[in-house]
Chains A and B, each alone.
Chain A
Amino acid sequence: MSPVNQTLSLLLVEDDPGHARLIEKNLRRAGIFNPIQIMTHGQEIVDYLQQYKKLSHQNQIAQPILILLDLNLPVVSGYQVLELIKTDPMLRTIPIIVLTTTDDPREIEKCYELGCNVYVTKPVDYTDFIDAIQKLGLFLHVVQLPSTGRK
């Protein structure tokens, strides 16, 4: 298996530190060794992306990123983050994987409508959870990412 683009940074937006830890552990088990940055609420990622845009403006090469987004976030909800990114011409190509406990068909539809790229449900059963994250890891190995951070 070819290693995932080494420069790719994973941004995990997750308010539950337990979940964040379990996701991280299982991504590592799946052979994903890219840096994972954990953010605990929606505002944090919004601020980060402002900074990211600034770097792009100055024609500096920002690190390509992929966002793993939980929906039930304090301050700024996952939906708001999703909408904000997907309606911003400079940010919209950033791949977003929604990773959440919700498995309601309406919520899933809403996320795709807002432009999320992949929707993954966090199963309560840990065997299924590991399985889901491992598959997500495999997916990350093969997925083609857009070149971001350049104008």
Chain B
Amino acid sequence: MKTQNFSAGDSDKQALFESIFDTASDAIVCVDGFQNIAMFNRQAEQLFGYRAEEVIGQPLACLLPKHTRGRHELHVLSFAQEKTERRLMGSRAELSALRKDGSEFPVEISIAKVKLSEERTLFTAIVRDVTERKLAEQALQKAHEELEIRVEQRTADLKAANEELRTFAYIVSHDLRAPLVNLKGFSGELRFSLDELQSLLLSCELPEDIRKQVVSLLEADIPESLNYIELAATRMDQLINAILKLSRLGHQKLIIQTIDLNKAVDEALTALAHQIDLGGIEVHCETLPPLRADLTVVGSIIDNLLSNAIKYSDPARKNLIKIYATHHEKGTTIHVQDQGRGIAEDDKSKVFQIFRRAGTQDVPGEGMGLSYVQAMLRRHGGTIDFVSVLGQGSTFSFSIPDDLEEREPR
């Protein structure tokens, strides 16, 4: 400590010192070389519950809980031998002090030694009650632990709910299939019976007007009804298969490897070549970077996005589909940009919903693709997003994180 040179007398210095000593906001206790209390400020009186005159001359031990006394003496002895002049105690280790009423409280103490002469050393201890801080720390620690438990609980709940949903989808789809076998089967049987009936009736001699009616029934009305039944069953079967496909997603193991995106895109384009020709669509693909991901999943995503871009092209104009990639700190994003019909503002929220299909319903499809894509990406730790302007086109962009090998498949 540096002190300014006061031009004041010794009595002034003494008054100044006493004022500082007593108004300090921390408790200050001075101990002589024999571990007896030499000075005790006002804060110390408040903190320990003793008046100064009660403790001055008493051993320091009266301010320490019995179980820490030995330890404390060792501290002081080692500190007395050290060359360092000050030391903070209790900042890490648990240190406690004893009040007059016998209660203990946690403290943090910074001690300093002052060598008055060869034989006399005075120790100054600034004592701070850290009860509140310790309580706050404990509360924080407890809150942390509780939070962790809650997160674990929630995660377990979510996992269970997810599994339940998957099982539900799985069971429902299988149970729904069984009646379809009957619908289709007995429609087929009716067709067989119809054929037999037809040959039987037509070999009979019938009056012309009745014959006409019979032919109309056998060749138009009944087959029409059967057609509708079969179509509905087929459609239902497609929907069920789509749900099944989604429910099975969670069970497939992902194989993360470095894949050639260009090859994946080429394969998708080859498979879609017919539709591309038919729609007079031009496809422009930039050279894409290698990607660490599951090949089947990425191939299927590219397939879905490209076939959507083709399906929803605008027949009224020339369509260009662009495929390109961007790289950013979190991973790689692949964009499929089209100049198709685009998605109306109101329909944007439905894009990833299962079985929802936005806009004019003139293209066959089960409305399954994008919800499937999103579910696949989610398992991959990836995301999908899009921007779209009605009448101008859409860009669908999916991102795959770079650190996939460290990720547990979900």
Contact string against A for B residues 238-278, beta-carbon threshold 8 Å, 1 for contact and 0 otherwise: 00000010001001000000000000000000000000000
- Chain A residues at the B interface, C-beta cutoff of 8 Å: 16, 18-19, 22, 25, 72, 101-102, 104, 106, 122-127, 129-130
Cβ-neighbour of B188 out of A19, A104, A127 (below 8 A) = A127
Cβ-neighbour of A22 out of B175, B180, B181 (below 8 A) = B181
Cβ-neighbour of A16 out of B182, B187, B188 (below 8 A) = B182
Minimal beta-carbon separation of B184 from chain A (angstroms):
4
Q: Quick check: A101 and B178 within 8 Å, CB to CB?
A: yes
Q: Quick check: B233 and A25 within 8 Å, CB to CB?
A: no
Q: Quick check: B181 and A18 within 8 Å, CB to CB?
A: yes
- Residues in A neighbouring B137, C-beta threshold 8 A: none
- Residues in B neighbouring A124, C-beta threshold 8 A: 177, 180-181, 184, 233, 237
Contact string against A for B residues 180-196, beta-carbon threshold 8 Å, 1 for contact and 0 otherwise: 11101111110000000
5 contacts between A and B (CB under 8 A): A25-B189, A104-B248, A126-B184, A127-B188, A129-B185
Q: Quick check: A101 and B177 within 8 Å, CB to CB?
A: yes
Q: Quick check: B189 and A101 within 8 Å, CB to CB?
A: no
Minimal beta-carbon separation of B75 from chain A (angstroms):
67
State whether A126 and B187 are in contact (beta carbons under 8 Å apart), knowing that A18-B182, A19-B182, A22-B181 are contacts in the complex: yes
Minimal beta-carbon separation of A123 from chain B (angstroms):
8
Q: Which of B187, B189, B237 has the largest number of chain A CB atoms within 10 A?
A: B189
- Residues in A neighbouring B133, C-beta threshold 8 A: none
Q: Which of B175, B188, B233, B237 has the largest number of chain A CB atoms within 10 A?
A: B188
- Residues in A neighbouring B180, C-beta threshold 8 A: 124
Q: Which of A22, A124, A129 has the largest number of chain B CB atoms within 10 A?
A: A124
B327 contacts partner chain A, Cβ-Cβ < 8 Å:
no
CA distance A124 to B241 in the complex (A): 11
Q: Quick check: A125 and B182 within 8 Å, CB to CB?
A: no
Q: Taking chain B's interface residues, is the majority helix, strand, or loop, or is none over half, making it mixed?
A: helix
- Residues in A neighbouring B188, C-beta threshold 8 A: 126-127, 129-130
- Residues in A neighbouring B248, C-beta threshold 8 A: 104
Q: Which chain A residue shows the least CB distance to B182? A: A18
Q: Report B159-191 residues with CB < 8 Å from chain A CB.
A: 170, 174-175, 177-178, 180-182, 184-189
CA distance A102 to B181 in the complex (A): 12
- Residues in A neighbouring B177, C-beta threshold 8 A: 101, 124
Minimal beta-carbon separation of A15 from chain B (angstroms):
9
- Residues in B neighbouring A129, C-beta threshold 8 A: 181, 184-185, 188
B interface size (C-beta, 8 A): 20
- Residues in B neighbouring A125, C-beta threshold 8 A: 184, 234, 237
Q: Quick check: B185 and A72 within 8 Å, CB to CB?
A: no
Q: Quick check: B189 and A72 within 8 Å, CB to CB?
A: no
- Residues in B neighbouring A127, C-beta threshold 8 A: 188
Minimal beta-carbon separation of B240 from chain A (angstroms):
8
CA distance A127 to B187 in the complex (A): 11
- Residues in A neighbouring B174, C-beta threshold 8 A: 72, 101-102
State whether A122 and B181 are in contact (beta carbons under 8 Å apart), knowing that A25-B189, A130-B188 are contacts in the complex: yes
- Residues in B neighbouring A104, C-beta threshold 8 A: 170, 244, 248
CA distance A104 to B241 in the complex (A): 11
Q: Quick check: B178 and A126 within 8 Å, CB to CB?
A: no
- Residues in A neighbouring B182, C-beta threshold 8 A: 16, 18-19, 22
Q: Which chain B residue shows the least CB distance to A70? A: B178
Q: Quick check: A22 and B178 within 8 Å, CB to CB?
A: no
Q: Quick check: B178 and A19 within 8 Å, CB to CB?
A: yes
Q: Which chain A residue shows the least CB distance to B171? A: A72
Q: Which of B181, B233, B237, B251 has the largest number of chain A CB atoms within 10 A?
A: B181
Minimal beta-carbon separation of A74 from chain B (angstroms):
12
CA distance A123 to B188 in the complex (A): 13
- Residues in B neighbouring A22, C-beta threshold 8 A: 181-182, 185-186, 189
- Residues in B neighbouring A122, C-beta threshold 8 A: 181
Q: Which of B170, B184, B234, B248 has the largest number of chain A CB atoms within 10 A?
A: B184
Minimal beta-carbon separation of A147 from chain B (angstroms):
34
Minimal beta-carbon separation of A23 from chain B (angstroms):
9
- Residues in B neighbouring A18, C-beta threshold 8 A: 181-182, 185-186
- Residues in B neighbouring A25, C-beta threshold 8 A: 189
Cβ-closest 10 pairs across A and B: A18-B182, A126-B188, A22-B185, A126-B184, A101-B177, A124-B237, A124-B180, A126-B185, A101-B178, A122-B181
Q: Which of A104, A106, A122, A127 has the largest number of chain B CB atoms within 10 A?
A: A104
Q: Which chain B residue shows the least CB distance to A125? A: B184
- Residues in A neighbouring B175, C-beta threshold 8 A: 72
- Residues in B neighbouring A106, C-beta threshold 8 A: 251
Q: Quick check: A101 and B181 within 8 Å, CB to CB?
A: yes
Minimal beta-carbon separation of B38 from chain A (angstroms):
82
Minimal beta-carbon separation of A42 from chain B (angstroms):
16
- Residues in A neighbouring B178, C-beta threshold 8 A: 16, 19, 72, 101
